[in-house]
Amino acid sequence: MQDQALFEYVLRLADDSLILGQRLGEWCGHGPILEEDIALTNISLDLIGQAISLYDLASELEGAGKNHDQLAYLRFENEYKNVLLVEQPNGDFAMTILRQFFFDAFRLPLYEALMQSPVAQLAAIAAKSVKETRYHLKHTSEWVIRMGDGTDESHERAQAAIDHLWRYTSELFFEDNIDEQLQERQLVPSLKGIQANWMETVKAVLSEATLTIPTNNWKFEGGRQGRHSEHMGYILADLQYMQRAYPNMEW
């Protein structure tokens, strides 16, 4: 099966999951308390699992005979199509949770919509992932509210994380001719509707958390086209280390 546009689309989803899962994996063993250490790893595991399914589908759509690991591990930096948001460093717990919250609030309505996709495999992945993502969003929302309406320090940290990450959020809704083409073929939803849904969630949670939405809407974009931040090279140096240092071996 070859479907270049759909391949690119699925690759974007897969790269988002992989890179965010990779970032969360850095927390394992270093969480603020054991219970939350375990919770963050659960989210990471869900994302890695989603990435595997999505890369399997992508490789089928590409039709080049690659397996999910070859797609995940053996591309150059500008061939990764994840948004800039997911590659941002973990920072403190507030930064990690807010990054995850912004992402979850986007992924949940997207998966809900993709469950209706006539691409059966994509709909199946969405149906499985939607349950995981709903839980992630619940958990991160609880934490955003607790940090925002907790102590002065936690409020400041949460607000600082929002102020920093806000610039990366509009890229979640980036659309180009790949999206347009697939929307025309009625295979995927328009991200405009997803964005409205996202904004509603963000407003509701931040308001309960007594946190404010930044007014500067200047956009940072590039990830979807393979132009990343400086962090990406280091992520790949770790991720690809074994595959690059010991090529063509099985592990």
Provide the 3-class DSSP secondary structure of residue 80: coil
Separation CA 19–CA 22 (nearest Å): 5
- Minimum CB–partner distance for residue 157 and other proteins (Å): 7
- Minimum CB–partner distance for residue 13 and other proteins (Å): 15
- Minimum CB–partner distance for residue 48 and other proteins (Å): 5
Q: Where does this chain bind other proteins (CB under 8 A)? A: 18, 22, 25-26, 28-39, 41-42, 44-45, 48-49, 51-52, 55, 68-69, 72-73, 92-93, 138-139, 142, 145-147, 149-151, 153-154, 157, 235, 238-239, 241-243, 246, 249-251
Spell out the alpha helix ranges (H) of the chain: 4-25, 34-62, 68-73, 84-87, 93-114, 120-148, 152-169, 177-184, 191-208, 231-245
- Cβ contact 83:16 at 8 Å: yes
Decide whether 55 or 198 has the Cβ nearer to other proteins. Answer: 55
Residues 6+ away with beta carbon under 8 Å from 87: 19, 23, 223, 228, 229, 231, 232, 235
Decide whether 32 or 63 has the Cβ nearer to other proteins. Answer: 32
Separation CA 233–CA 77 (nearest Å): 7
User: Angle, nearest 10°, between helix axes 120-148 and 191-208?
Assistant: 20
Decide whether 151 or 212 has the Cβ nearer to other proteins. Answer: 151
Separation CA 178–CA 107 (nearest Å): 19
- Minimum CB–partner distance for residue 46 and other proteins (Å): 10
Decide whether 73 or 174 has the Cβ nearer to other proteins. Answer: 73
- Minimum CB–partner distance for residue 223 and other proteins (Å): 19
Decide whether 98 or 178 has the Cβ nearer to other proteins. Answer: 98
